[in-house]
Copies of this chain bind each other. A is one copy, B any other.
Amino acid sequence: MSPKIVDRQAKRAEIARIALDVFAEHGVDATIEQVARAAKIGKGTVYEYYRSKTELIFGSVLTYFEQLDQLTQDASQQFDNPEQRLRFEVKRIVKRLLGDKRYSQIVVGVLRMTNTKEGRLIDRTLNREVNRRFVALITKRILEGISHGVFRPEIAKQTEVLAMNMIAFTDGLWFSYYLERGKINLEEQLDLYLHIFFQHLRKTPSASADEKVVHPRETMAAKGSHDF
């Protein structure tokens, strides 16, 4: 029946993956033809798997975020303290994301689609898609912290608000970093936010015993990381 057996699902995913790189390189202004060339297929073949360019962008972005699950999941087990662990995880995620050209292009790409009909559907979906992962992670750690007795129990009911707050900060951090690449001290800003954030969560605000657990080797593009 089907002589040329092709795993359409797999090929679709592969095209998305390649498109992701092309978009990361040239922005979403990249031509379908560029994508096709990169994927070593014909222009028409792209349309065999994606109805429109918008759909392809959507697909490639989703692909990216599926890869992100790794980031949020295989978090290191080396810390038994939830605060240290979240601290480690957040820094790790932020650094990876902000250091990833593809992430920036995706964000920009999504934002600029905002003015198009199709785009409007996509951007919100994506945003929710991304946030969902981080909210889940942060919520989990906060609750762990509470049950470990290190975080105040009262905050249990506002985990989502807290998570969104951290997301807002990291998004904004990306923004500054993206536009002023090199001028902003990522590590320093992140540490500052985490410091005041956890201060708020802890039972004894002053007891920030172990603020600098995270392996300082990862400091990216840091220019005089104050390490306060």
List residues of A whose CB falls within 8 A of some B CB: 26-27, 29, 105, 107-108, 110-112, 114-115, 123-124, 126-128, 131, 158, 161-162, 164-165, 167-176, 178-180, 184-185, 188-189, 192-193, 195-197, 199-200, 205-206, 220, 226, 228
Chain B residues within an 8 Å CB radius of A175: 168, 171-172, 175
B124 and A220 form a contact (CB under 8 A): no
Please tell me which one of the listed residues B111, B127, B162 contacts residue A180 in the complex, with CB atoms under 8 A apart. B127
Copies in the complex: 4
A-B contact pairs, 6 of them (CB 8 A): A108-B111, A158-B220, A161-B192, A168-B193, A196-B197, A199-B199
Chain B residues within an 8 Å CB radius of A108: 111-112, 114-115
Identify the interface centre among A165, A170, A189: most chain B CB within 10 Å of its CB: A165
Residue in chain B with minimal CB distance to A23: B115
Expressed in whole angstroms, the minimum distance between the Cβ of A134 and any Cβ of chain B is 12
Chain B residues within an 8 Å CB radius of A115: 26-27, 29, 105, 108
B29 and A180 form a contact (CB under 8 A): no
A189 and B205 form a contact (CB under 8 A): no
Chain B residues within an 8 Å CB radius of A220: 158, 161
Chain B residues within an 8 Å CB radius of A127: 176, 179-180
Expressed in whole angstroms, the minimum distance between the Cβ of A168 and any Cβ of chain B is 4
Residue in chain B with minimal CB distance to A104: B114
Given A108-B111, A180-B128, A167 and B161 contact (CB-CB distance below 8 Å): no
Given A161-B220, A195-B200, A124 and B180 contact (CB-CB distance below 8 Å): yes
Given contacts A124-B179, A168-B176, 12 further A-B contacts (CB under 8 A): A27-B112, A108-B112, A114-B179, A161-B185, A161-B189, A165-B193, A168-B173, A168-B189, A169-B172, A172-B172, A172-B174, A172-B175
